[in-house]
Structure 1
């Protein structure tokens, strides 16, 4: 397990600036971090790495000082009016940080156009050595594993991936059998996954699912998700990004370092119990 990549996702410690996040990741024992170059929502706290050259320099320096590396950058949204060429600057910054993976959300109800734009993004990303991963989320236009696989296959690019997030896998009602079959046929599509746990039955209200996703996930082993089954279906030793926002703990004064450390410790314990 010492060779496995463990990455601290930005959403887990969203209050931290990127340099501070790198420092916390290093202290907690992570090998990698994920950098949020574009905010997921207009309301969330965001540190403008794309616009702030000084902040990028500080982040590079902290990465160099600690030996922590960047796994992925996020989050690009493919919308109906997306001009894929506009994403070049973000890819350039991602490559500058050494990221190999890119998190992509599908926000276009026209599935054919979504697949075409995803293919164009893969083409744009390829010279940078970056692999775009379409993350399915039940409130987006890539709702579940089946739809994400269909879109990625339609795109037909060698660097196209599907990002499995344990929360979205559970809340979308996706199939472990279908995941295991897809991984067996095309393991190269699954280069990293996002891990957390999920508590309770699936809500009927999509707004509540969205609230839980962004604010209240559980550490691995503390919820009801079949994480052993999920990890068994995914490629062996797949890189794991720990995306576990726990707003309640944040509001109780539990520090970013403590939350990041708990996430990693719980993940290691889960893996050792398999």
Structure 2
């Protein structure tokens, strides 16, 4: 099966969804991955399509004009005090735009609370035909493959899935062969990037690299091929934020190079 690629929000973080759609189409992507759930992070732009009706209309027009498809939306974040129902407007917008998946991650240390809220989010997303795909993040509370599998097995939601980000997978110290123990139907898509093989000793440096300085595939030391070889063929969402390269190249050329280097790497490294 021919590989398909999505342009992830963090890769072109300051591009609003309509602009991002046109950009992704010109750069040769098959999908886009939006963040219509506003996180309220410092300096973050608000792309809440449920509230911004004009931006939603422009996004819908851009997708129709380009034929671009929406792979997933983010981020249904689970934290102490979260109200899962607050994500419903984003689910509705995502469904109207044809999305398939919702990305989620857990940032509470209360295991039972995190699992209960994850299950609730899955139930809320189900009527919209969306899966909820759990991503483990080494700076969050669910930090590795074992923790994510624990959540999924305990929540027992038919529309839940596991989303592996190869950066986080490497930083968590997981082994590619462990992916063979994951149910095949849990995999819906994958985040691709590269990074230095050395794992930062501080949370601050790990955070800086994952948000600002990831590498093109093949330019770091992560065993991306080892991960890809052990999961089914799914769409690859390129999440590769790099402030220096985007300032140098501009978003469109950077996105194009992200895609080309990913294709070159996969054609060169991954078994067929």
The residue aligned with 1:96 is: 96
1:139 aligns with 2:139: yes
Instruction: Kindly tell me the number of residue pairs found equivalent between the two proteins.
Output: 268
Q: Scaled by the length of structure 2, what TM-score is found?
A: 0.95
The residue aligned with 1:214 is: 211
Distance 2:112 2:251 in 1: 41
Superposition pairs for residues 22-41 of structure 1, below 5 Å?
22-40=21-39
1:189 aligns with 2:197: no
SS at match of 1:191: strand
The residue aligned with 2:263 is: 268
Distance 1:20 1:216 in 2: 23
Distance 1:174 1:250 in 2: 30
The residue aligned with 2:202 is: 205
User: Alpha carbon RMSD of aligned pairs, Å?
Assistant: 1.3
Superposition pairs for residues 155-174 of structure 1, below 5 Å?
155-174=155-174
Distance 1:166 1:44 in 2: 26
**Residues 18, 47 of structure 1: 8 Å contact kept:** no
Shift of 1:47: 3.6
Distance 1:33 1:131 in 2: 16
Distance 1:39 1:47 in 2: 6
The residue aligned with 1:150 is: 150
The residue aligned with 1:119 is: 119
Offset from partner CA, 1:25-77 (integer Å, 9 cap, x none): 10111010001112445214314323210000001000000000000000111
Q: Scaled by the length of structure 1, what TM-score is found?
A: 0.94
Offset from partner CA, 1:89-111 (integer Å, 9 cap, x none): 11111111111110111011111
- Unaligned 5+ residue runs, structure 2? none
Residue from 252, 258, 263 that aligns with 1:257: 252
**Residues 69, 98 of structure 1: 8 Å contact kept:** yes
Distance 2:40 2:255 in 1: 22
The residue aligned with 2:60 is: 60
The residue aligned with 1:239 is: 235
Distance 2:238 2:86 in 1: 29
Distance 1:40 1:200 in 2: 29
Moved over 4 A (4+): none
Distance 1:122 1:40 in 2: 19
Distance 1:31 1:77 in 2: 26
Alpha carbons of 1:101 and 1:257: their partners in 2 closer, same or farther (altered >3 Å)? same
Shift of 1:126: 0.8
- Unaligned 5+ residue runs, structure 1? none
SS at match of 1:164: strand
The residue aligned with 2:82 is: 82
The residue aligned with 2:15 is: 16
Distance 1:203 1:73 in 2: 29
Distance 1:40 1:54 in 2: 20
SS at match of 1:233: coil
